[in-house]
Amino acid sequence: MASKSPKGPELSIEDYAAGVKRGDRAVLARAITLIESNKPEHQARAQELLQALLGSGGEARRIGITGPPGVGKSTMIDSLGTHLTAQGHRVAVLAVDPTSARTGGSILGDKTRMPRLAQDDAAFIRPSPTSGTLGGVTKTTRETMGLLEAAGFDVVLVETVGVGQSETAVAGMVDFFLVLALAGAGDELQGIKKGVIELADMIAVTKADGDNVARAEAAAAECRAALHILAAASPDWQPPVITISAKENAGLDELWGLIEAHRQALSKSGELAAKRRGQAVQWMHEMVRTRLERAFRAHRGVAGLLPRLEARVRAGELTPSLAVAELMKAFGLESE
Over 70: is that where the pLDDT of 320 sits? yes
Whole-prediction pTM value? 0.84
CATH of 1-56, one of 1.20.5.170, 3.40.50.920, 1.10.260.40, 3.60.20.30: 1.20.5.170
DSSP letter at 211? G
Vertex 77 angle, CA 278 and 118, to 5°? 110
Backbone angles phi, psi at 135, to 5 degrees: 70, 10
Q: Which residues is 99 bridged to in the sheet?
A: 106
In the chain, which residues fall in CATH 3.40.50.300?
57-268
- pLDDT > 70 fraction of the chain, expressed in percent and rounded: 83
**pLDDT tens-digit map of 193-233:** 667 788 899 999 999 998 889 989 988 998 888 887 777 77
22: nearest Cα among 120, 90, 86, 95 = 90
For residue 161, count other CB atoms closer than 10 A to its CB.
22
In the chain, which residues fall in CATH 1.20.5.170?
1-56
Pairing mode, if any, of strands 91-97 and 61-66? unpaired
Task: Report the C-alpha gap between 301 and 332 in whole angstroms.
Answer: 9
CATH 3.40.50.300 fits 57-268, yes or no: yes
